[in-house]
Amino acid sequence: MGAIVIGGGPAGLMAAEQLLNAGHAVDLYDAMPTVGRKFLLAGVGGLNITHAEPFDAFCRRYGARQPELQPLLTAFGAAELRQWCAGLGVETFVGTSGRVFPQEMKAAPLLRKWLARLKHQGLRLHTRHRWQGWDAQGRLLFQNPQTTVAAPYAAAILALGGGSWKKLGSDGAWVRLLVDKGVPVAPLQPANCGFLCNWSGHLRSRFAGSPLKSVTLSLTDQSGQTETRMGEMILTERGVEGSLVYTFSARLRGLIQAGGSATFHLDLLPNHTHAQIESALRQKPARKTLGAFLKSRFKLDGAKTALLFETQGNAQAADCFRLASALKAIPVTVTATTPIDEAISTAGGALFEGMDGNLMLRQLPGVFCAGEMLDWEAPTGGYLLTACFATGRQAGQGAIRWLQTQTTA
């Protein structure tokens, strides 16, 4: 019996690579016709594979799960991931925001080279094989278009993804299979997701899909801590989404769960002080509309102006102090997340408390977990992929150690 990896995303492939490097035979099963589908989708607009910010700040992106993930990131973090890419012949560069991309920007060239190397090392791929759990003899069961396959294993690594983007293979069906075996699993929830707002018909019809660039978002979380961050977001027909919103998604979700809604504030003119804005507003010609003046004086576009009137109405137009205050702190109230299948990633999953340091499940000796199916979350910006690679490597190394103990036992 050899090692089996279930799931052909970055975590599963990285785990398989560790085992192959150690000389073990590896069979990798995936439910989809080809592997790495979500990885390829992530690279459509430019593969943001990791982030170049200082290590301590990088690790803080993982929030409550920083203690569990930091040792794994110490072993295989951003620098190591970039070196690994270089070993595949894929050079990377740091963008202006600190995000790291392959020179070719796309995921396909990297995945193609990686799969070629793994197959050369002997990786056996079994696509269109959906995992069904275990049979009475403890073998792994897979359903393919023709039949059911029972596969014995000496070590198994589960890298099954979260519960978002079902069409790409991550449907969360594994949750029931592990819970039935007594494995502790936190419910899957949307992360890096959009949020719902009660927009007016005017804003929905005129400005849905409009970006809000160079705005600053401020949020006070449940613990009373306030964070302010600049970035970009998008007004949608249902609410808001985008990288700036994703940074706060865990805290927004927590506030909604606790109180039914969450309110953050947007500074539409972060490069201007309140005093500068108020002074300029007092000089507005009487014949000029407020919208036209804001556009000419501050380059405030239609979407930002619409958001101002959406939340403030026309009552404050003549009050320069209050209008300046509004432009520096537009309140946006969100009432729910968008559906989990629309989320970029998911929170929740197999709890670290149910595993050892090798990511082996205590209830299922010889079975390891890696990637997004673990109970952690992080914002977009390269953090998701880096942790998937790091946990895949850790699970693969753990499986090697497990196989060694079985050989010497």
* 125-155 pLDDT tens trace: 999 999 999 999 999 999 999 999 999 999 9
Residue ending a domain, among 318, 337, 356, is: 337
Tell me: do 134 and 205 sit in the same domain: no
Give the separation between CA 343 and CA 338, rounded to whole angstroms: 7
Q: Pick the range with the lowest mean pLDDT from 10-14, 256-260, 314-318.
A: 314-318
User: What confidence score (pLDDT) does residue 317 get?
Assistant: 59
Confidence of residue 168 (pLDDT cuts 50, 70, 90): confident
Residue 31 has pLDDT above 80, yes or no: yes
Tell me: do 180 and 263 sit in the same domain: no
Residue ending a domain, among 303, 337, 371, is: 337
Could you tell me if 43 and 21 are in contact, meaning their C-beta atoms sit under 8 angstroms apart? no
For Cα atoms 16, 19, 20, give the angle at the middle one, nearest 5 degrees: 85
Tell me: do 208 and 270 sit in the same domain: yes
Tell me: do 324 and 353 sit in the same domain: no
The string of pLDDT tens digits covering residues 249-301 is: 999 999 999 999 999 999 999 999 999 999 998 888 888 888 888 888 899 99
Mean local confidence (pLDDT), 184-195: 95
Tell me: do 137 and 157 sit in the same domain: yes
Q: Percentage of the chain with pLDDT > 70? A: 98
Tell me: do 275 and 393 sit in the same domain: no
Tell me: do 223 and 350 sit in the same domain: no
The total number of structural domains in the chain stands at 2
Domain of residue 243 covers 195-337
Mean local confidence (pLDDT), 163-192: 89
User: What confidence score (pLDDT) does residue 45 get?
Assistant: 73
Confidence of residue 324 (pLDDT cuts 50, 70, 90): very high
Compute, in degrees rounded to 10, the torsion defined by CA atoms 70, 71, 72, 77: 60
Tell me: do 319 and 375 sit in the same domain: no
Tell me: do 25 and 149 sit in the same domain: yes
Residue 18 has pLDDT above 80, yes or no: yes
Mean local confidence (pLDDT), 221-233: 92
Region for residue 171 given its phi and psi (left: phi exceeds 0; alpha: psi -120 to 50; beta: otherwise): alpha
User: Six-digit token pair at 265?
Assistant: 């504030």
User: What confidence score (pLDDT) does residue 125 get?
Assistant: 97
Which amino acid is it at 186?
A
Is the torsion defined by CA of 321, 325, 326, 331 positive or negative? negative
Tell me: do 331 and 358 sit in the same domain: no
Tell me: do 9 and 108 sit in the same domain: yes
Residue ending a domain, among 312, 337, 362, is: 337
pTM tops 0.85: yes
Tell me: do 384 and 259 sit in the same domain: no
User: What confidence score (pLDDT) does residue 147 get?
Assistant: 95
- Residue 145, domain CATH: 3.50.50.60
